[in-house]
Amino acid sequence: MKRRYGLLLVAALIIGVSLPILIGREALLPVLARLPAERLLLMLGIIFVAWNLNAGRLRLLTGGMGMHLRQGRALATVMATEFAICATPGGTGGPLTYAWLLKRQGLPMTRGAALYVADQLVDMVFFVSALLAFGLYWLAFPSDMHLGWQVAVLAGLLASGLFLVGWGLRHYRPLLLATGRLLRRLHISPARRRSLARRVLDFRRSLSLVRSYSSWRLVTLYLFCTGHWLLRYSILYLAALSLGAQIDWNYAFLVQMISLTAGQATFMPGGSGGAEASGSLLLLPYMDAATAAATVLVWRFVTFHWYLIAGGPVFAAVAGRPLWQRLQSGDATTQT
């Protein structure tokens, strides 16, 4: 299984590079040669700032639990988690890495998992707000972009996710009872069922603690989230601009949302294949095939390959082989 996992990661990297090459063909390299080195360094610097904003988010979340986390340690946790997200199918390694590294700092796994979910919920609130803002903007200032149904689907999915999480937290007792009956039919031992129930209840209590954070902490958390995503989702726009193409920033933002959502559907590490194909197709109406492919290649290097290159050594330093083997085996169970 570990060998297949490694082959899947290698396949994802090959697919992610091959698709833009197939789309751009022989004209791709001359277009890529137009990319100024200082622009590439600027984009990598933007990602570093975005990682630090995420580290600030982590410090705010853990600080509310009474845990003091230094910026350097928080940054290492963020970079290692981003590496795990990019290196595992569907990003499944991210939550385990996040919670496992926080456990090494003294926070129980269930609380770390709750903080990861809280972090994702803040992201979802931001994206719903961004999509609503785009919709209002286009109503006030109509454009030639025809992404109405895509925006509506994305907003609907995010809003549905927020609703389901809220409903599950409010009506957790029926869910626990139904899950217990299912586990009993699967012949899971009573001791394992009780252990799982305790973890779920502890997870819910931890998530409820986040809801009780002070207003200033929650507002600052949202501002850090906004800064992170505005920077990260500016990369495609900057890549196109650096290669001589012109697209609207809000269109580039939506292209990334749609492409990464399509990438998740492939369940490949980093969303390889789906992200490159959909991103190129969405850019083709505004630039030639070679420029679109080059733009996607630069964007994916900065937001996917660079996460592996820079995050890999950090992951090795703070997590090491035990967690990597756990990710490879798909074992997400850890003692609290």
> Has residue 273 been placed in a domain?
yes
Q: 69 in a domain, yes or no? A: yes
Nearest CA-CA partner of 199 in 333, 310, 324, 82: 333
CA 329 to chain centre: 21
Other Cβ atoms less than 10 A from the Cβ of 143: the count is: 11
Rounded-to-integer distance, Cα 28 and Cα 26, Å:
6
Tokens (6 digits) for 260: 């990464």
How large is the angle between the packed helices 172-185 and 190-211, nearest 10 degrees?
A: 160
Q: What is the pLDDT of residue 184?
A: 66
199 found inside a domain? yes
Residue 334 in any domain: the answer is no
Tell me which residues of the chain have a pLDDT lower than 70.
1-6, 138-157, 161-163, 165-187, 189-208, 324-336
pLDDT of residue 310: 95
- Return the closest-CA partner of residue 218 out of 102, 99, 122, 117: 122
Cβ atoms of 21 and 37 closer than 8 Å: no
Tell me, yes or no, whether 26 lies in a domain.
yes
Any domain includes 213: yes
Nearest to 57 by CA among 158, 132, 126, 109: 126
What's the CA gap between 78 and 61, in Å, rounded?
13
User: What are the two backbone dihedrals, phi and then psi, of residue 280, each rounded to the nearest 5 degrees?
Assistant: -65, -45
Give 244's DSSP letter.
T
Upper half-sphere CA count for residue 43 (Cβ side, 13 Å)? 25
86 falls within a domain: yes
Give the residue among 81, 126, 115 at the shortest CA–CA distance from 230. 126
pLDDT at 3: 57
Entry pTM: 0.84
Report the pLDDT value the prediction gives residue 82, as an integer from 0 to 100: 95
CB atoms near residue 4 (< 10 Å): 8
Is there a domain that residue 216 lies in?
Answer: yes
Total domains in the fold of the chain: 1
Angle (deg, nearest 10), helices 235-242 and 249-266: 110
Give residue 323's domain range: 2-329
Phi first, then psi: what are they for 141, rounded to 5°?
-130, 85
Q: What is the pLDDT of residue 271?
A: 87
Nearest to 77 by CA among 96, 92, 90, 91: 96
* Helix or strand run (H / E) with residue 136: helix 109-140
Predicted local distance difference test score (pLDDT) of residue 226: 95
